[in-house]
Structure 1
Amino acid sequence: MATSGNNSRITDIEPWYIPMDILRIVGPGGPQDNYEVQKSGQPRRVNSDLKRIQYQDSLCVFRAYINYSMTVIQNHSYNLQAIYRYVIVVYPTRIFWQSHRFQLFLIIITWIFGLIAFIPFLFTDYIRYNVENQICQAPIRFSFAIIYVALVIYIIPNMILNIIYLKLVRYVRQMNKRITSANVLSRAERELKMVRNIVTISTILVILGLPYAIFILMSFFTTIPQYHFRIAFIFIDISTTASMIALFKTTDTIKAAAVQTVTELVTIIAQMNT
């Protein structure tokens, strides 16, 4: 390994670096992907890998902070949708809870929480530049920072979502046992289906995020692979594609809109050829 100017270092790279870097750029969501905002630094990483340069740019730590914050907001947005569906079914007479004003209030609270939750990381050494992976993240090891990340980003949001889903399932089952009007029961089952779709998408993200979780657990007891972040984020990028497919398959309105769009395009092309 050699050293060059501007605190950068020249090092050997693995042959799979460049293909994976390019794949992450052209993958779904692009640089604006909420689940992995680190993609905004991906072109820089490709350039660094091509030139075999390891260099921490001035926005590296800030991108990591935004990455954590946006992931928290995204995961809790699933909870907001589930809570809204739950209120519609369980508390149909609480109109204020279903109002746009109250929902906007919850959204604002979610954003404030997401942006505040990781502010301390900006002013401590919790976020560090990982040379081998050319990324700024909380180091995966037994520490307060990584446990905090796991709890706030993954464990707590998913626990809340699954609790809401299970409570809604139980409530709808009780409705089936009682004398309930067909319209009310149909609406409850429709809202339950929507929450189930949300849980499905969240579960896909969790499953494909398992490599990240496994590396965290491994770090408590042994040394983890050198390129753990590169490996973990490949699976996270795949989860974005999988969740988009699941969203398309499970949401009738999206499927209907897609079919309508394709039909209109086919009609326009047919008219142009006649």
Structure 2
Amino acid sequence: MLVANSCLAKLLFAIDLLGLIIWSLKNDLKQISYQDSLCIFRGYLVKATIAAQFDSYLLQAIYRYITVIYPTRLFWQSKQFQGFLIGLTWVCAFIFAIPHVATGEIQYNADNQMCETPFHLSFIIIYNVVYGYFIPLNGIMFIYVKLILYVKEMNKRVTPVNTVSRAQRELKMVHRIVILVMILLVLGVPYTIFVIMGFFTQPPKYHLRISYTFLYISLLFIMITLFQFTDPVKTYIMKKIKRQSNIIAATTIQMNEVR
């Protein structure tokens, strides 16, 4: 459920970004600057879905931590409790994005053909960084380090093999979450640079286009990484590709024989 929740957050984020691309491209082709009725909503949804993504990663990390540290507390691992937490994170994500709209900070930028919070020193920018990025990222890294130390301690004392294996498996899953988060962080560097630049001076004219281009790329890398991490899906797709290649090869051989 938790992994599916992260995928849902990515999907909604990708759909929203696609809407941004289509609208920007449409206005560019027509060479007009026009704020449509959904512009503010798309800007709002970007904030909400990004927060939902990071919250979903944090939720996964917390679940892995509880599974290892408190394996007997089955209620915390139940689907009902997971569903409750998933719903809570989505509610928090959408509430988190409301101040951006309520304060009028999400504004139409004609140069970049999108609605986004201007990069300048303001409460909303600080609020966005702290809640949207700082808290979940630090939470994930804290859990990751705690699990590493816990697994090392388990290896030093006599512990059932299945317990150690489970802890190592959950640690591996958190490690994968950290990799996904690092992809977002690395490809989000231009966005971060422009935000910091906005504290002191005016960012470049097309700073939003540049920032969002790297966000598009990050989605591609995340999909590739998830493909590598998800062995059943990877095996299934590789079998399909191999089978298709064999069919093409057999067809080619038959055609050559006929000739």
- 1:168 counterpart letter in structure 2: L
Structure 1 residue aligned with 2:95, among 112, 116, 129?
A: 116
- 1:155 counterpart letter in structure 2: F
- Equivalent residue for 2:217? 238
Per-residue deviation, residues 7-37 of structure 1 (Å, max 9, x unmatched):
xxxxxxxxxxxxxxxxxxxxxx9x9551572
**1:261 is the counterpart of 2:245:** no
**1:210 is the counterpart of 2:189:** yes
How far is 1:82 from its partner?
A: 1.2
- Equivalent residue for 2:142? 163
Higher relative contact order (CA 8 A, sep 6+): 2
How far is 1:86 from its partner?
A: 1.2
Call closer, same or farther: CA 1:265–1:98 in 2, change over 3 Å: farther
**What's the secondary structure of 2:63's corresponding residue?**
helix
- Equivalent residue for 2:21? 42
How far is 1:122 from its partner?
A: 2.5
Q: TM-score under structure 2 normalisation?
A: 0.87
Structure 2 segments unaligned to the other structure (5+ residues)? 1-7, 255-259
CA distance in structure 2 between the aligned counterparts of 1:253 and 1:187, rounded to whole angstroms: 19
How far is 1:264 from its partner?
A: 4.6
CA distance in structure 1 between the aligned counterparts of 2:15 and 2:136, rounded to whole angstroms: 17
User: Number of residues paired by the alignment?
Assistant: 245
- 1:101 counterpart letter in structure 2: Q
Q: Which has the higher helix share?
A: 2
**1:102 is the counterpart of 2:86:** no
Q: Is the 8 A contact 1:35 1:71 kept in 2?
A: no
Q: Is the 8 A contact 2:99 2:124 kept in 1?
A: no
Identity of aligned residues (%): 45
- 2:127 counterpart letter in structure 1: Y
CA distance in structure 1 between the aligned counterparts of 2:140 and 2:15, rounded to whole angstroms: 21
- Equivalent residue for 1:54? 33
Structure 1 segments unaligned to the other structure (5+ residues)? 1-28
Per-residue deviation, residues 155-185 of structure 1 (Å, max 9, x unmatched):
2211111111111111111111111111211
Call closer, same or farther: CA 1:153–1:261 in 2, change over 3 Å: farther
- Equivalent residue for 1:86? 65
**What's the secondary structure of 2:37's corresponding residue?**
coil
Q: TM-score under structure 1 normalisation?
A: 0.82
- Equivalent residue for 2:162? 183
- 1:228 counterpart letter in structure 2: H
Call closer, same or farther: CA 1:176–1:32 in 2, change over 3 Å: closer
CA distance in structure 1 between the aligned counterparts of 2:243 and 2:223, rounded to whole angstroms: 22
